[in-house]
Structure 1
Amino acid sequence: MAALTFDLQVTAENSRARAGKITTDHGEIMTPIFMPVGTVGTVKAVTQQQLKQDVSAQIILGNTYHLYLRPGTEVLEAAGGLHRFNGWDRPILTDSGGYQVFSLAANRKIKEEGVMFQSHIDGSRHLFTPESVMDIQRSIGADIIMAFDECPPYPSEYGYALKSMELTHRWLDRCFARLAETPDKYGYTQNLFPIVQGSTYKDLRKASCEYIASKNAVGNAIGGLSVGEPEEMMYEFTELCTEYLPIDKPRYLMGVGTPWNILEGIDRGIDMFDCVMPTRNGRNGMIFTTEGVINIKNKKWASDFSAIDPGLPNEMSQFYSKAYLRHLFVAEEILGMQLASIQNLSFYLWLVGEARKHIVAGDFSSWKKEMVEKVKKRL
């Protein structure tokens, strides 16, 4: 089968925003795009049918660390890969587990060979190496697989950030070497995206971008942002990275973020985003809408019988009322978490779709300025 391709269709005026099309063996992805996070093979509280019909998701994520621990590669291989295991027939991207290992700071040890860590499930010890992580992602069977990297915390001292970046680059070389000596599984192409690191140091970010670009991968990712640094700093380093990453390859900003973060990222030349925020915050009663942000647990919504989001062209968002959704949360009914998750994901996919329309129409910059103010508003 064919490797991933990217067709850059339109670049906005007065902005680095662009509209494109990524083609994989499991279908096309129209960019800019938001990718719902399905860490353990499921987007929490949302079925695959709902992801297609209500959310209009084009690609979802899985996570190497979690899927390796359970159900494990033996089960996934016996099923024929994650696509067949969970019934999702559109593209899948898998994170390498580098961020999860980073978040287990108290239970992991980083060395040149790889990372030794303890399972959060049963405390068992495991070793992730660039080679083993490539093998695991082969077994999962994603269309886009991520390089194994070290994600330094914020803030990091310069010396640590430099050593971490250099280790990430050496691991990247090993990732490419491993993929070159192992075949694709399940009859379709698995495409590797390298990850830019370098913390919040401009010279390191530039060096990492140039090293990653030299690999001529089919796409590139920016990691190590949205880890606690101020928003303006995240925007600054996103813009710096897009200055040096190839124009003709998709750019993926990992783990970002709020609706306004995504609009600012698009403005700076990012094509792909993911974040647990729409589902995680939704399960806790934070609802993102076309008019602003709602805390559905507030008493002010108890007798508000208007639709959850009249501006969203989604049957569910217009069928149920704010009052009913609040009732579900107060009563601790599972349906409340499900409806909130679908609403938030639908809104995120609508937002990037609207951004694409305005890039194509030529008025993205003015639309984005107005939309950022609107989606930040607390209702």
Structure 2
Amino acid sequence: MARLGGDEFLLVMDSPDSHDAPAELASEAMKLLREPFQVGDWNELFMGASIGISLYPDHGRTPGELLTNADAAMFHAKSQGRNTWAFYAQELTEAASERLELEAHLRRAMERGEFAVHYQPQWDTATGQVTGAEALARWHHPEQGVISPGRFIPVAEESGLIIPLGERILRDACTFWEDYTRRTGHRLTLAVNLSGRQVALPDLAERILAILDETGLDPRLLELEFTESVLLEQHHGLLRLMQTLKARGVQFAIDDFGTGYSSLAYLKDLAVDRLKIDRTFVQDLPDDENDAEITAAVIAMAHNLRLTVTAEGVETEGQLAFLGRQGCDQWQGFLGSRPLPTAELETLLSAERHSGAGTSP
């Protein structure tokens, strides 16, 4: 940080992780500057600030260009009423403002308990019977209504809020699943997603075991899912996690398989139980020849490794018929059911139990 002269200061941020990082730093700086200053024997003094942000190389390739454009952005911030920040590019300002506003809403939502767990059923391809369900976070904002996971999950990941959110979803899901299992005697698998941030926690295994002990859920009914990117980035952490939890009977699955860069050696080392074929390979089945060949190859490879396979995003009878011919073990998707709140899920499962037959199309 340097003083350029008068009341102007320059802050250089080396290699920010994303376009949001400078905006977060600017917001934090302005928050701190709003606190009153005690100077000598004077009364409290209050300061304001306007901050302009330019990014290399988008907004300049030389120090002079970057300073000039940051200065222009600062004057734009002043024109907006001062005590704010702005990027040199207006679209970045809007995107970062929306993201920071969403993060603030997300923090309040955690405090107010605005999140609920919905469950998407999973079916056995051969018998048509429900074998379990995947727990999914749903945010019901009091003013904006349902906020898409595609909007709030990335923000939760970047801000670190995914850690308390993931823990809350796991606890709520395990609580409901244990209660349902105890009342009905119906033993189904509960699938819950793990983020890279969670897997990086050195005590994640202990946290999960504490939730299982607290809720009383049989660990053999829990299946934890992680993506291929988490597999590559957190390989050693996953290895420790799985060694601890598999000893208690917890199962593991690789989610969105085929969209990343998995190593078959990792599959062997980690001893996962299931591969989940990503919906991008399923959506054009059976007409797309490439997707059909890839899906068939993944199923055959998984079976050779003694893994079960679940296909995601199944929406048509044609897709399901193709998966059945290839020997895919299980599936989930809108053809069977959208993600359901607990009451609707119980209605579906009750209908299946009393009919004595599968509810799958």
Class of the TM-score when normalised by the shorter of the 2 chains: 0.3 to 0.5
TM-score (norm 1): 0.37
Q: Which has the larger radius of gyration?
A: 2
TM-score (norm 2): 0.38
